[in-house]
Amino acid sequence: MTQTIQVTVPIPDTHILIEKQEYVDLMEMTLDPVWTMKDLKSKLKIASEDTIRRKFLENVKFYKELKEKGIVHYPDENFNRWRFNARKMNRFIDENFEEILKAKGGG
């Protein structure tokens, strides 16, 4: 037989209660829309651009999804800089963090 308990918790006027997904959405909205490589290094806590490129951005395990979903702009003849969709990249990293860190690398 399942037992239940009813509890009343007062929420101060200085706080609000929202659903977790709404909170996540609001936090994502605080991000700049575009990250540079410096921002990505900060998020991953990896100082080396070469390591990030090898283990993550150019790794066949991640490359296709990053490119197809518009998460990464890979440098090309038109715009020779790395650019990242901050909200999509942040979500991708959160969902795949362990795999990214464990990746052996190699494109």
Q: Where are the domains of the chain?
A: 35-102
Number of H helices, E strands in the chain: 5, 3
pTM for the full predicted model: 0.70
Residue given tokens 């100082």 in the structure block:
47
Q: Look up residue 69 and give its two tokens.
A: 């979903």
The SS3 of residue 56 is helix
| Rounded Cα distance, 105 and 89, in Å | 18
Tens of pLDDT along the chain (107 residues) come to 899 999 999 999 999 999 999 998 888 778 779 999 999 999 999 999 999 999 999 999 999 999 999 999 999 888 889 999 999 999 999 999 999 988 876 54
